[in-house]
A = this chain, B = another copy of it.
């Protein structure tokens, strides 16, 4: 579970958090999700492997406002040898649903070629796969 505050720079002239900011938050939530499970995405990157984003699907349900403290619930929904799929639920300060989202990832090397997720990572991630029904 990640919490973050909506930054002023993330608002737009509609007076709400701009929809592209959510995509950045999902990434921050994903990195925290890994850290909480003993996995350093920074170390994975340093080793030359990235979890490149192949798809982002965000459904915006309610506005988020400057200085709101948001909570992001992250779930690893599916895992294959070269692929992972995360699901997210962003909640506002009062628990209201702000957005749901899915991100899909392909493990890639420094040249952008699809590779297998390193086995240590795959084993560690496999413990946390939680298929969802919705």
Contact = CB atoms under 8 A, between A and B. Distances in A.
Nearest to A61: B54
A40 interface: yes
A100 B60 CA distance: 19
Given A23-B23, A24-B9, A31-B67, A112 B54 contact: no
The A interface is mostly helix, strand or loop, or mixed, namely mixed
A59 B57 CA distance: 9
* Assembly stoichiometry (copies): 4
B9 A63 contact: no
A19 B28 CA distance: 13
A56 B24 contact: no
A11 interface: yes
Contact of A55 (B9, B31, B60): B60
